[in-house]
Each structure stands twice: as C-alpha cells, then as structure tokens.
Structure 1
Amino acid sequence: MSEGAALVATHRTALDVAAAAPMLAQVRSWSAINSGSRNLDGLARQAALLADAFAPLPGQLDLVEAVPGENVDSSGSVRPVAYGRHLHLRVRPSAPVQLVLTGHMDTVFAADHPFQTLTDLDGGAVLNGPGVADMKGGIAAMLAALRGVEASPLRERIGYEVVINSDEEIGSPGSAALIARAAQGKLAALTYEPSALPDGTLAGARPGSGNFSLIVSGRSAHAGRNPEDGRNAVVAAADLALRLYQARRPGLSINPAKIDGGGPNNMVPDRAILRVNLRPALPEDQLEAEALMAAIIAEVETAHGVSIHRHGSFGRPPKPLDAKAERLFALVEDSAALLGRPIGHRPSGGVCDGNNIAACGVPVVDTMGVRGGAIHSADEYLIVESLPERAMLSTLVMLRLAEGGAL
C-alpha cells in the first residue's frame, strides 16, 4: 500500500461518515427557501434550519444579530438598512489546531425573482435551483465534513469556528467584523464558495472590490428661461462615469454601473447618483484607486460647478497568494489527488469573504464548496456527486492539518 493510500485508509471512518451525510436532502430543503440578501423573513427561516442542522455538533452555537448598515437610495438620501442574523459556532477553542470555516446563507435571488424552484437534470445527476451551488450545497458539504472530523480520534486536536453569514452577496457589511474576529489566530481557513470551474478547479488569487455611490449635487433651474443658472447633476454624473471608465487599466477594473437622478424635461436636474465598482488586483492598486477617485471627483466638481459626496468603501481587500496560502493550496490539492480527483487552482476575478479572511493574515482556500456552475442565473446547477466528494476533501484536509499542526 502506498503512503497516500495508507493515509486515506487511516482516516477512512471519518471520510465515510462525511460522505454518508444527508447532503442532497439538506440542499433540497434549504434551496426551497428564498433567502435573498434583502428577504429578512426568508433569511430568518433559513437561519433557523441551519441552526437545527449544526446543533448536533459540540460547542456553543448562536444566531448573531448583524451590525446595521446604510444605503444610498435613488434620491441620494442615506437610509439605514438591516441584515439577517448570522450563524456562529465555536468548538474547542483551546485545542492546539484552530481553524475557521465560513459560508453564506443568502442568495442573489430576491423574493419576487421568478427563479424559485428545483429541477432534476440528467437523471438526477445534476440539480438546478436557486443557491444549490452558491452556496447551500457548500454549506451541506461543510457540515458533513465537520461530522467526519467529529468521528475521528483526532477531533480533540482541532478547534474551529463556523460563521455562516446572511449578507455575503451584498459584500458582508453586517458580518465583516464577526468574520474578522473569528479569523483571528487561526492556522487556516476554508470557505465554501463553489469551485471556480465545474471540474473542481479552485480560485486562487482574487482582486479586491469596492462599491461606491457618488452623490452629485448641482443646482436646479428652468431648462428654457435660465438654464445657464443651473448646474446639471446628471451631466456631471455622466462625465464622472466616463472619466472613471477611461481610467481603468490592467490591475484596476472600473465599472460605472448605474446613474440615478433627473426629473422633468423642463428642469435642470440638481441631483444624481453614480454607482460604481472598482476591482484592484493588489493592495498598491487599491491605494492608487483611492487617489484616482479623489482626483477625478475634484476635476468634475470644478468642471461642472457641483459638489460630490462619496459613500462606500473597499469592502473586499485584494487577495494575492502568500507562501502560507500556497502551502495550504498544495495540501488541499494533494488531498484531492489522494481521493482520486486531482484539482488545481487559478486566479479569479470574483471576490468573497475569503478576501477579508486573507486580509487578517490567515491563509484561506475559499472554493471548497461543490462543483457546479451558472451561478447568479436561473441556470445555476449543482453536480450531485460532488457533495460527498467535497465533504471528504474537507474532512481529509482538516485531519491532515491536525496531524501537521503548521503550514
């Protein structure tokens, strides 16, 4: 027997427990609930089901109130906004090897979105439905993996915190502080976003992401009698969007996404709001983006005689791979090969809570979830055989971390 086969055999009981968990039934149950990021009632139902599912694990389980936030509405007013509660589980905080596992219960599909049902495809080998891959399938695999760990004699060496938040799809504004606290002092992190490709490829380096609402205040006037006395906020917002778009470059993506504002055709509009997303590849790109925005805002204010208020932040820091992260990826990829499904990793243009965990100095692999695809669309699908596959992968990775104790 090879060394790798012997390693898998040593952990066979734990792997079998993980693989036997009722993951598909859980995914069906959870995905039948609309848990769009703004659907607080649906998120409350989802959180209660998840609490019941995770309750058999040892440790302290809580449903934590979210930090309240604020949004800029279509009139430019800043309004308070509430988020759903987050699941937080803490197990064996004194164990020598400490890990953090994260996932999200929210989806991008609002309560009134037409995509609300589950459909079996390819004779049941594929499941189409809202959130099946992103990431209710990932949560099921996470829970199954932890059940596997608890079936191993190595369990006493492993402590872990689990955070399943309700607001990841909108940038985790109400859970970022909870995730940062949970990540502190951890050896490694596993996050259960779906794989980067249907073959199981992992997402490696990620850019950062900042979402901003730029509120342009001009001056109203009659469009026919005295337009020269006005300061057209819509025109200024359009100029702002164009200047920002023209400033994009390799390493800094800039996407002006929406302009709110305007009014009657016979009035010079005095208010407009530009929504824009910036994605810097590296921390130095983020610093440059901050300076760039400030400079372009000042230019437009001067050119149009308007004032511009910036609301928002870089909620997702860039996530380049350091040496510890590379070693964690190597461990995950080697474990996948031992289980008979070799995988690799590649850079991704997307962002997730893994960005924030990495910014805490903790190495993270953030695509430990299921294989599937077409996420954020009505074609979203889960490859059913990947549920036990990815559950066993996480179990083996955690047990190997317990054996090694370092990265």
Structure 2
Amino acid sequence: MERLNTTERDAVAAAAAYPMLTLTEQWAAINSGTRNLPGLKTMAEQLAERFGTLPGALTMVAPDRVERVGSDGHPVALDHGHHLHLAVRPDAPVRMLFTGHMDTVYPVDHPFQQVTRIDDNRLGGPGVADMKGGLAVLLAALHAVEASPLADRFGYDVLINSDEETGSASSAALIARLAAGKVAALTYEPALPDGTLAGARGGTGNFTIVVRGRSAHAGRNPEEGRNAIVAAARITLELNQLAADDITVNPARIDGGGPNNVVPDLAMLQVNFRPRALAAIERTGPAMKVIAERIAAEHDVRVAVHGSFNRPPKPIDDGAAALFETVRGAGADLGLSIGWRATGGVCDGNNIAAAGVPVVDTMGVRGGAIHSMDEYMLIDSLAERAGLSALTILRIIGAA
C-alpha cells in the first residue's frame, strides 16, 4: 500500500468499504436462470436500483431475436430477458467497457436455491461466484472511482446481460457496439480460488444439424424410406474427423426416430466445436457444409445446418498483455500476486477481444465449483478484488 498515492489509497479503501457481501447475498437469493424470465426481470430491477446510483443514463435494452431448433426440426423464437446498459460520460477522453451477466445456470426448479455461510470465509449459493459477487465488486469499484478527482476524465459503459450462460446470442451485437472505441474492458467472471486469472481462451461453436429423410415400413417397403438417423450418424462420424490440433469436436446428441417398425424421417445432431485459432473456424465452417451437402446427396435426404461459431478464440495479443501487466502491477502494489493461464472456457471476453479491445475477463471474486451445487465465493476476495479493480481503473485513466 505504500506505493499508492493518496487518490489511489482513498479509492481502494472506499471500494473495500462498500456493502458487497450484503448485496451478493441478496442477489444470489434471486433465481435468475437464463430461461427464468420473471426471475431475470426481478434481478434486473434490483441491479438497476443499485447501478442507477452511478451517474449517467441507465436503460434496459430489449434482447435481439434468437431462434432455436424445436423438436420438430423447425426454428422457433426463443425469448430472453432484457439487458442492463449504463452509459456514463460518453464524451470523456478515457472510455472503458465493463461487463457482467445477471443470469445463472440454475433453472427455477433446480434444487440449489439457498445462500448459506459455509464457514467464516466461504459463502455458498447459486451464482455467488458466477457472478453476483463479481457484480458487487464492479459496483463498489465504480463508486470508488467516481469519488476520486479523476472521475471527470473517465467515461464508461456498463453492460450486464441476461444470456451469457447460454452464449450471449441476444446480446452479442450489443457487446460489439459498446466495445467500439474503448481503451480497455474488464469483465467480472470469477477468478480461481488462488486468484489466478484466465488468459488466452479458446472459442466455441454450437450447431444443430437437421436431417429430413422419408418414412416407410421397416419390414414391408424399407427401400422406399430414407433413414435420417443413418445419415445423421454418417455426418457425426465425418464431423468427428475434423478434430485437429487447433480444434476439438464434440458430437453431443442425436435425437430422432420412433417405433422400431418405421424408417425414421427426422434426426437432429447437436455438435460443439472448440477452436483455438481463427484459422480453425475458417477451415471447419466450409468443411461442415461440404460434409452436409455430400451426405445429403448420397443418402437422398435434406440436411440443414443451424448455428454458428458464436465466440471466437481470445489470444493474448500486445494490447491484452499490456492490460494484464497493468492489473498485475496494481495487484503487486496491493500485496497480491496476480497470475494468469490459458483456459478452454469461453465468456463475453471472447466477444470483446474480437472487437479489438484489450480485456481481462476474470476480475470478479475468488471462488470455485461454479455451475454446480457446491459453488462458493471467498468472502475476503470481495474487498480484495474491488480494490484491485479501482486501482486498475485509476491507473488506466492516469496512463491515457
């Protein structure tokens, strides 16, 4: 702390004093699974009340239209919650983007609903780490910076979306728009329990491949049928061969068929790709189309490919490396050892990096067992990470 100037020292103290634990407990008690639209509405109202105490214009942005493939193989609209957007001093000389998400992976009927104090330093509950604790950290840091003499030089957008856990399909365009022109971005996914941050990230692509054949009696006239499941299985095997050093392929599910005496006329294949380089996306997308068209012709079926590579890989380029060094230096001056490592997971940081903006996307609390009934947050990381964010932001403003 002796390396901090008075402005920095005051901001770190102010961030640490913010009532983050109380807010985290309140917010985690609200079920806001991505598909629980009433719960998301309640959560958004709570967040708007708190983030509305910051200056600027706060709006709830309607989600973009998103479709999914229904059980009949046809696309249907999929409803999403609104997204919170706060715009502060858009004409300021230094502008940043801060993102988080209000949704969790726990649906309204999930058995994991209670927030509990596991011990003196661990809070358990749905979303305490991923990422309602992180939202409290962000709010505390921004209030601390707003109280500093540097605030007038600082403009920013806060986006808290409602669909990050399912790929941000209804908010991806909004993320890209808000990222434009920013010097840096911070996202509040949880750090690992020891404080390690996520560095480079792979990307992801999710696809539903719909195969339509022709039904027939399996005993009387099978030759007149066109078996959609057999064609889908062929596609599965060939897609699996697209795996390489820079991309993994996971055919996850095939649905279709019916009675044993009927040639199935519909099958749907769910497949996930994890590219580690843009070249893998550029190669795999066209290859998937070629496979689909060829097998459609060979089996006399129709094949439709739905989906996209919705999150590109996030490498550590020069801008990202410089931002990580700013965070690391701020941590060192707070007595924290900040490291980072590559991960196969994805988040909105992938989308921000794709817009050309340096981003550190695990600025939230330290915690673990996310996406499980054992999810927990380390309580002492609230003050620690709020101070780290406040100091990082001040140094970005000062360096610009």
Report the TM range for the smaller structure's normalisation.
over 0.9
Aligned to 2:238: 243
Name the aligned partner's letter for residue 123 of structure 2: L
Q: Decide whether the 8 Å contact of 1:13 with 1:151 is kept in 2.
A: no
Q: C-alpha separation between the residues in 2 aligned to 1:91 and 1:137?
A: 22
The answer to whether residue 121 in structure 2 is matched with residue 136 in structure 1 is no
Aligned to 2:14: 17
The answer to whether residue 61 in structure 2 is matched with residue 64 in structure 1 is yes
Q: Give the superposition deviation at 1:402.
A: 0.6
Over the aligned positions, Cα root-mean-square deviation in angstroms equals 1.2
Figure out how many residues of one structure are paired with residues of the other and give that number. 400
Name the aligned partner's letter for residue 30 of structure 1: W
Q: Secondary structure at the match of 1:221?
A: coil
Q: Decide whether the 8 Å contact of 2:7 with 2:148 is kept in 1.
A: no
Cα deviation, 1:267-311, whole Å, max 9, x if unaligned, reads 011001111111111111110111221222233223322221011
Aligned to 1:280: 275
Q: Decide whether the 8 Å contact of 1:206 with 1:351 is kept in 2.
A: yes
Aligned to 1:149: 145
Aligned to 2:43: 46
Which of 82, 87, 95 pairs up with 2:84? Answer: 87
Aligned to 1:376: 371
Q: Normalized against structure 1, the TM-score is what?
A: 0.96
Aligned to 1:388: 383
Q: Secondary structure at the match of 2:97?
A: strand
Q: Decide whether the 8 Å contact of 1:8 with 1:338 is kept in 2.
A: no
Q: Decide whether the 8 Å contact of 1:19 with 1:391 is kept in 2.
A: yes
Q: C-alpha separation between the residues in 2 aligned to 1:360 and 1:371?
A: 27
Q: C-alpha separation between the residues in 1 aligned to 2:227 and 2:294?
A: 15
Name the aligned partner's letter for residue 297 of structure 1: A
Cα deviation, 1:333-375, whole Å, max 9, x if unaligned, reads 1111111111111111011111111111110001111110111
Instruction: Report the more deviating stretch, 392-401 or 315-324.
Output: 315-324
Q: Secondary structure at the match of 1:289?
A: helix
Which of 249, 254, 257 pairs up with 2:249? Answer: 254
Q: C-alpha separation between the residues in 2 aligned to 1:235 and 1:25?
A: 55
The answer to whether residue 148 in structure 2 is matched with residue 167 in structure 1 is no
Q: C-alpha separation between the residues in 1 aligned to 2:38 and 2:216?
A: 44
Residues 3-402 of structure 1 mapped to structure 2, 5 A cutoff: 5-7=2-4, 9-122=6-119, 124-195=120-191, 197-402=192-397
Identity of aligned residues (%): 58
Cα deviation, 1:63-97, whole Å, max 9, x if unaligned, reads 11111211101221110111101110011111111
Q: C-alpha separation between the residues in 2 aligned to 1:199 and 1:292?
A: 41
Q: Give the superposition deviation at 1:8.
A: 5.1
Q: C-alpha separation between the residues in 2 aligned to 1:311 and 1:366?
A: 29
Q: C-alpha separation between the residues in 2 aligned to 1:5 and 1:142?
A: 24
Instruction: Report the more deviating stretch, 286-295 or 51-60.
Output: 286-295
Cα deviation, 1:225-280, whole Å, max 9, x if unaligned, reads 11121111112212222221232122101111111211111101100111111111
Q: Secondary structure at the match of 1:311?
A: strand
After TM superposition, where is structure 1 displaced by more than 4 Å over at least 4 residues in a row? none
Cα deviation, 1:12-43, whole Å, max 9, x if unaligned, reads 11111110111111111111111010110000
Q: Decide whether the 8 Å contact of 1:334 with 1:342 is kept in 2.
A: no
Name the aligned partner's letter for residue 165 of structure 1: N
Q: Normalized against structure 2, the TM-score is what?
A: 0.98
Q: Secondary structure at the match of 2:206?
A: strand
Q: Secondary structure at the match of 2:142?
A: helix
Q: Give the superposition deviation at 1:318.
A: 1.4
Q: Which runs of 5+ in 1 are unaligned?
A: none
Q: Which runs of 5+ in 2 are unaligned?
A: none
Q: Give the superposition deviation at 1:9.
A: 4.5
Q: C-alpha separation between the residues in 1 aligned to 2:242 and 2:355?
A: 30
Q: Decide whether the 8 Å contact of 1:137 with 1:370 is kept in 2.
A: yes
Q: Secondary structure at the match of 2:27?
A: helix
